[in-house]
Structure 1
């Protein structure tokens, strides 16, 4: 289980990671193991539509049990499969880096974090920093 305090810490650190690096304004969401939103924040200047992108990145990760990098590789190798999965989930997934699985100390998936706003690789880096700061393990 991810505590609200941990979710907020992940988001704060992810947004600060982007700001410190001079990246474009980030938005970040943390979902629980069932794909439900625990916390969200959008940095000043971030586009208002970023919530849905961040949520879709995280939702795909938690529902498929694979991070955004793995999803993107799967989409490149088997585009028809990932298109079908996106249809199954009502268009709610975004198979690119920035959707990061959250694992507990036993290695169990307990949620996912989605970050968006800069390059997908930078988004994933910010998510991993936030997850680590909360004492958990990220898998991008």
Structure 2
């Protein structure tokens, strides 16, 4: 199973709605497939233009390491050398913090990741999780 474009667009829409309902700063949301390829991206009005790279970096680390952003952050705190080396191996594309959300299908298989940025990392994760769950997939934050 793969994340469809229709699902990706709905994930983004719900993440934006969740952010707005909770009074979050303007968000940017990226959806990647299981290979780390871009499926969809949108930046809210008022969001900084550099947010694409941050959202992608949060999601990219999830897909490439197979763990969520919060687990990546814990790993970075415990083994900074490993995360630095992984970041180098991935060409600096990974940002190991919450807001990077691993997406699993009903069998538990990783089918992609969502990266959200614009507010606190924890709030970013909340918005992304809402979008993922809205399309019936499992969010690992």
TM over 0.5: yes
Mapped partners of 1:46, 1:113: distance in 2: 17
Over residues 83-134 of structure 1, what are the superposed CA-to-partner deviations in whole Å (9 max), with x where a residue is unaligned?
Answer: 0000000000000000000000000000000000000000000110000001
Query: How many pairs align?
Result: 140
Cα deviation 1:39-78 (Å, max 9, x = unaligned) = 0010110000000000000000011000000000000000
> Aligned partners of 1:25, 1:79: CA distance in 2, in Å?
30
Q: In angstroms, what is the RMSD of aligned CA positions?
A: 0.4
Counterpart of 1:63?
Answer: 64
Corresponding residue of 1:82: 83
Question: Partner of 2:125 in structure 1?
Answer: 124
Aligned to 1:50: 51
Match of 1:25 in 2: 26
Deviation at 1:12, TM superposition (A): 0.4
Distance 1:22 1:87 in 2: 36
Distance in 1 of aligned mates of 2:49 and 2:92 = 19
Structure 1 runs of 4+ aligned residues shifted over 6 Å read none
Give me the whole-angstrom Cα distance separating, in 1, the residues matched to 2:121 and 2:23. 15
TM-score for the superposition, normalised by structure 2? 0.98
Which ranges of structure 2 fall in alignment gaps of 5 or more residues? Answer: none
Aligned to 1:37: 38
For 1:119 and 1:129, how far apart are their aligned partners in 2? 16
1:2 maps to which residue?
A: 3
Equivalent residue number for residue 138 of structure 1: 139
In the alignment, the residues of structure 2 paired with residue 37 and residue 15 of structure 1 have an alpha-carbon distance, to the nearest angstrom, of 18
State the TM-score, normalizing by the size of structure 1.
Answer: 0.99
